[in-house]
Every structure is written in C-alpha cells, then in structure tokens.
A and B are shown apart, each in its own frame.
Chain A
Amino acid sequence: MQKYIITASTAMRSKTNGGVVYMFPVIIMKIVYLVPLMFIWRTITASGAAIEMSLSQLLTYTYVNALLADMLIIQTYMTGWDFDSKSTAMFTRPMSVYGQVISRTVGEWGPTLLLFSLPMAVIAPFLGIQIIPYTLWFIPSLILCISLGFALEFVFFCITLRLRNVSWLMHVIRAAIISFFSGTVIPFRILPFGLDRWMAYQPFGSLGGAPLALYVGVNQPVRVITAQVVWNVVFWLIAICWFKQSRERMVSFGG
C-alpha cells in the first residue's frame, strides 16, 4: 500500500514542482467557468420560467460541481493526451497498472482540492451557497461515481488503442460527450422533451450528475445508487477483460 501512497504523493508534488504560482491559471479558469453558469441560473429563474429546481439547488449543483470536478469526471493521463509514452511506462514499474493509474490520479487532485476547493467551500456560505448536502447518501454515490469513472477511463483507453492511438481525437470527443451526458454542467432534471427520465440511467449519467442530484436532493438515493452499482459491475468487467486483450497493442511515438 505504501508504494501507492508514495506514487500519489509524487504525483501531487509534480503539480506544484514549478511553484504554487503555476496553479493559479487553472484556479482562475475554474472560477471563469463557474461564474457565468451561476448567473445563467439567476437569469433563468429571474425570468419567471417554471423550473423543477429552485435557484438555491441550481447554484449549489453548479458550485459543488466546480469544487469536486476532478472526482465527478475522472481524467487520467491514459486518455488525457498519451503521445509521449506515459502509458507504456506503467509496465516498466513493479506495481499493478490499475493501482498506478488510480494512485497517480488521486494524488494529482491534491493541489486543486487544497488551493481551490477548500477555500471555495469555506467562503460558500458568504456567497449564499448552501454547501451542506441534502442527504449523506451523496458520499457512497460519489465513491461509486469515482469508481465508474476509472472503469470508463480504461474502456476509453482500449478504444483509443483499437483506433490506432488517435488519442487527441478521443480526448476531444470524450470530453464533449461526457460533459453533456454526465449531467454535470446542465442537471438532467431541467432538460426538455422528458430527457431527464432516461438520461439518469444511461452509463454516463452515473458519473458526476448522480452524486450531484443527491447532494441537492432532486433524485431518490435508491434509484441513483442502484444504477451506479449496475454500471460499475458492467464497466469494470468490460474494462478488465478488454484491457487484458488490448494492452499489447500499445504504441509509443515519443513526444
């Protein structure tokens, strides 16, 4: 276990090796993403439109999504931009590939959580944001969301390998599809055409949108967690079997 903790710690330090100051652009960008969307909710509710979520719920949803973004949509270096052999290097170390990917990714969350999420959580009440979760079922749901996120990472990595390592294309498509189908940006509950009825049950719906829905209390814990457990079982089985078959197709071009 210690080797994974050390890997996580190394990954965390790698984010700030050049100095904490280089984290600021990322933090500023997170705030730039957050503010306009929060004001869109204010604009929509101020227009008097009938809406299934209160302004307070919408603001909390968006705010908590920004705070926990790295956990709600998992992104590892495998599917990030794997052109410089980082993924092949996993096989040169005496550690499990799954363990390396998970510990490294978790470690990389550290600086953002400390420098962005924690201060933002502290000031939330002063901004009028309800930061206390509606139900504690949010916690198991978040754990299942993270677990499913890692399974999907391995699945996407296998797809990339099968598509001759077109990592950039996969990165862009994956980001675009997941941002919509995960429900992290726009809550399923307010989608038109009755889309909310089935969006929550497609696999990506068990990612960020699921714990966020429980956080603000707009979905039933039993429904959400059941769907998450089912998709976890399905996608971990696919991930493990497919990764075993695909890993010998890995190619590195250098950077």
Chain B
Amino acid sequence: MGKITFKRYMQLVGIYAKMDFATVLRDTKFMMFCIVSDLFGNISSVSGIFLLAWRFDGIGGLDRYEVLFMLAYGNIVMGVMNMMGGCNALFPSRIIGRGQWEHMFIMPLPYGVQMTIGVYPFTTSSKLVTGIALMWFAVANINMALPWWWVFALIINVIISMVIVAALSYLVSSLTFYAPVQCEEISSTVVYSAEYTSTFPLSGMPLYIRMPLLSIFPAGLLAWLPTLIILGKTPILTNLYPIMFAVLVSFAATYFFKKGFEYYVKKGINRYVAGGHRS
C-alpha cells in the first residue's frame, strides 16, 4: 500500500461526491423528499430541549438562545461527521464485525484514505445544514456581543469535538477485534448515545454529574463545554481541557486499536466459517 498525494486524495473524494450527486440526479424528486424528511427529523430531535429552554427562559444559567447555540453546535459536529462517514469511517466496529476489515487489505490505498474518502455532501448534509441554520438564528438573537474571533473559535472547537467523537469510536471499536459478533454495533451505540446526551445543557448540574460527562463518557465535550468556551463563559485554563482530552483519548484509541488489530491478525474472524455470517 503506497502513499498517495493530496491531489490524488482529493480526486478520490471528488469521485465519491460525484457519485453522491448522481444519486440525487437519478431520482431528484424522491431524493428531495428524503433530504427534507431528514431535515425535519433533525429539527424534531432538538425541539424538546429548546422548547424547555424557551418555556423556562433558559436552563441552568444558559438563556434560551445560548441553549439553541449549543444544540446547533452539536448538530454541526455530528453533521460534518455524518457527511464524511460514507465508508463507515465513524463506525469501524461495523467494518470489523462484518468481516470487511480484510477487504481493505487488498485495496491499493492506505487504510486512512479508504476510511475518509467517502464524503457524501449532497445526501448526508442535512444535519450540518440544520446546525448552520440553527446557529445563524441563535447568533442573530443571542443576548450578548460575540467577540470577533468567535467563528475561529467555533471552527477549532468543532474540529476538537470531531477528534473526540472519532477517537472514542475507535477506542470502543478495538473490542470488536476480540468479539466481532457482539461488538459489531458498539461504535454506533456509543456515538449515538453521546450525540443524544450532548443535547442536555450541563449548566446547573452538580459536579459529580458534570465530571463523568466530561471524562468517562464525554458527551459534555461535544456541545456544552465548547459552547461555554465560544461564548467566553469559562476560565482560560478550562478552554484547554477539550484539546488535552482529545489528545489523550486519541493516544488511547491508537494504542488499543493497534493491540486489537494484532490479536485479530493472529486469530482471524468467524464470519467466514459456515453459519458465521450475520443471520
């Protein structure tokens, strides 16, 4: 597996994007129905917490538009990841558990490239679009003057949150090398749970609830804490916590994923024996 140039990488991404656009063109009416339905689904999934914030004029120190900002941030993080996850890049346990990891051995591309070129910007961007629209609405109505650098802070924090989600997913996916059948969906369980839990504003909650949600199960780092950082509501040292956590969890994910892979190379997978496939 040789290395490829950035130009070749972008060409491959372009091929996937082109295929995605062809999907839209093949039956535009049907695809528009799917995309619009997805948009309504996304709005519906954040409506509950926002209506609560509206009803009580905010939750735990965050006003209603700050809560909306937080919900929008979470949508942007997961929206970008959904858009880039066409090859199950965010859910490696699926690839391993289905016995498809071996398929990647014979492809003339590095693993990282195979995993990340599946970008579908037309059919899977509805969460990102929802997030951007909600953020625009929140910023237009928020009861404070945002600093000029808030967009840069937003971009950096979104990247950090994405690293945390991806690292967390790869960390738990290492278990799939040992138990492919039982852990096939472990990454989606963890990622979707973190996504759901990240919609809760942690402001006002006691420390013994907040701390686990910022460390053991870091859903608070996917929306709540980055929102406070962007809105300038945290001390400077706290602003460094997400990046430190992202580095640590990335190292842990790399170590355990490699360890699991070594085990897998020696033991193989039972999905290719008779009756071993999903049934």
- Which chain A residue lies CB-closest to B205? A39
Contacts of A172 in B (CB 8 A): 38, 41
Interface size band for A: 35 or more
- Residue B278 at the chain A interface, CB threshold 8 Å: yes
Q: Are B38 and A40 in contact (CB under 8 A)?
A: no
Residues of A14-36 contacting chain B, CB below 8 A: 18-19, 22, 25-26, 29, 32-33, 35-36
- Residue A129 at the chain B interface, CB threshold 8 Å: no
CA distance A28 to B264 in the complex (A): 27
Contact of B182 among A22, A29, A49, A173 (CB under 8 A): A22
Q: Are B197 and A192 in contact (CB under 8 A)?
A: no
- Residue A222 at the chain B interface, CB threshold 8 Å: no
Contact of B40 among A26, A46, A49, A173 (CB under 8 A): A173
Q: Are A33 and B213 in contact (CB under 8 A)?
A: no
Q: Are A43 and B59 in contact (CB under 8 A)?
A: yes
Q: Are B209 and A39 in contact (CB under 8 A)?
A: yes
Compute the total of residue contacts between A and B using a CB distance below 8 Å: 101
Q: Are B186 and A25 in contact (CB under 8 A)?
A: yes
Stretch at the interface among A65-73, A143-151, A177-185, A211-219: A177-185
Q: Type the 1/0 row for A35-63, where 1 means its CB is closer than 8 Å to any CB of B.
A: 11101100110110101000000000000
- Residue A1 at the chain B interface, CB threshold 8 Å: no
- Residue A118 at the chain B interface, CB threshold 8 Å: no
Contacts of A33 in B (CB 8 A): 193, 196-197
Contacts of B203 in A (CB 8 A): 43
Main secondary structure of the interface of B (DSSP, over half): helix
Stretch at the interface among B5-13, B50-58, B135-143: B50-58
Task: Give, as a whole number of angstroms, the nearest-CB distance from A216 to chain B.
Answer: 17
- Residue B276 at the chain A interface, CB threshold 8 Å: no
* Known contacts A18-B181, A36-B209, A39-B209; A185 and B48 CB within 8 A of each other: yes
- Which chain A residue lies CB-closest to B37? A173
Contacts of B182 in A (CB 8 A): 18-19, 22
Contacts of A43 in B (CB 8 A): 59-60, 203-205
Q: Are A32 and B56 in contact (CB under 8 A)?
A: no
Contacts of B37 in A (CB 8 A): 169, 173
Q: Are B42 and A39 in contact (CB under 8 A)?
A: no
Q: Are A192 and B55 in contact (CB under 8 A)?
A: yes
CA distance A18 to B180 in the complex (A): 11
Task: Give, as a whole number of angstroms, the nearest-CB distance from B54 to chain A.
Answer: 5
Q: Are A169 and B34 in contact (CB under 8 A)?
A: yes
CA distance A22 to B176 in the complex (A): 12
Contacts of A176 in B (CB 8 A): 41-42, 44-45
Contacts of B209 in A (CB 8 A): 35-36, 39
Of the A-B pairs whose beta carbons lie under 8 Å apart in the complex, a sample of 25, sorted by A's number, is A19-B182, A22-B182, A25-B190, A26-B189, A33-B197, A35-B209, A36-B202, A36-B209, A36-B213, A43-B59, A47-B56, A47-B204, A169-B38, A173-B37, A173-B40, A176-B44, A176-B45, A177-B41, A179-B44, A179-B45, A180-B44, A180-B45, A185-B48, A186-B52, A191-B55
In the complex, besides A36-B209, A40-B60, A44-B60, 17 extra interface pairs with C-beta distance below 8 angstroms are: A29-B189, A32-B219, A33-B196, A36-B205, A36-B213, A37-B200, A40-B200, A46-B204, A47-B60, A84-B278, A163-B33, A172-B41, A173-B40, A176-B41, A176-B45, A180-B47, A191-B51
Closest 9 CB pairs of A and B: A43-B204, A173-B41, A176-B41, A192-B55, A176-B45, A36-B200, A18-B182, A186-B48, A43-B60
